[in-house]
Structure 1
C-alpha cells in the first residue's frame, strides 16, 4: 500500500539548497585564502648564497641574496673536530655599491655584500664554519652556509 503524499520523503527545499551552496562557497574561499597566504610567505622567505675564505686575520664572507631581505650575518666557527663553536657578528661589510658599513645590512634579492669577520687563526689549520643570515621582516636567523676552510700558510 503506497504511503500518503504527506509522509513521503522529499528533496531539499530551495532555502536548504542555498544554505548548502553557501557553506561550500565559504569553505572554498577560506581554502583559497590559506593557500595564497602560504604562497606569499614562501615567496618572501630569505634565500642566500655565501662563499667563505679565511686567512690569519679572520674570515671573509661574500653573500648574495637570492630571495627576501637580509639584515645581517652571524658567523660561528671553531677548529675542525671541535665540539664548540665561537659566535661573532662583528663583521665590517662592503656592499655592491662600495659602501663600507657595520654588519647592519639592508640587502634585497639581487644584492650582495662582502663582510670581514676578524679572528686570530692559525696557518695550516682547518676551521669549520656556519653562516646565519638575519631575515629583515621576521628577525629570524636562517642558516645559509656550512663548511670547512683551511687557513693558508703564506
Structure 2
C-alpha cells in the first residue's frame, strides 16, 4: 500500500459556516451605517481601517476571492487552497496561525532549552486605584528606606 493511500485528504475550512462570519456578513453594513448616530459620541469616529479589516475577513478562505492550486509532485493529486486575509487579532484562523508561528519562533530561536514557567501577579482592585497615584507608591518606598536604612 502506497503512503499516499493513507495520507489525509485536505479539507478546506468553511468560513461561511462560522457564527462570527455570519454575524458580520448579516449585520456589519447596518452597524457601519448607524455607527455615527448610536456610538460616535461615546466611542469616537468610525475608523476606515475597521471596515477594511472586516471586508478582508469576510473574503478570507473564499475560493471566489482567489486561490492557489497545490499539486503533489509524486502522485499529481491537486487541490485548491483559498487565499487568506493574513489578519492578526481579528480573523480567528489567521490569528491562530500567527500565534503558532510566533510560539515556534520563540521555542526555536529565543528561549533557552530549559523549563519555563509563567506567573501572573494581580493587584486587588481596591488597591489599584491607590497605586495609580505616584504619591502612594512614593510614600511606601520612602517608608521602606527609613526602616531599612
Query: TM-score category by the smaller chain?
Result: under 0.3
TM-score (norm 1): 0.23
- More helix per residue: 1 or 2? 2
Instruction: Kindly name which structure, 1 or 2, has the bigger radius of gyration based on alpha carbons.
Output: 1
Q: As a proportion of its length, which structure holds more strand?
A: 1
TM value normalised by structure 2: 0.23
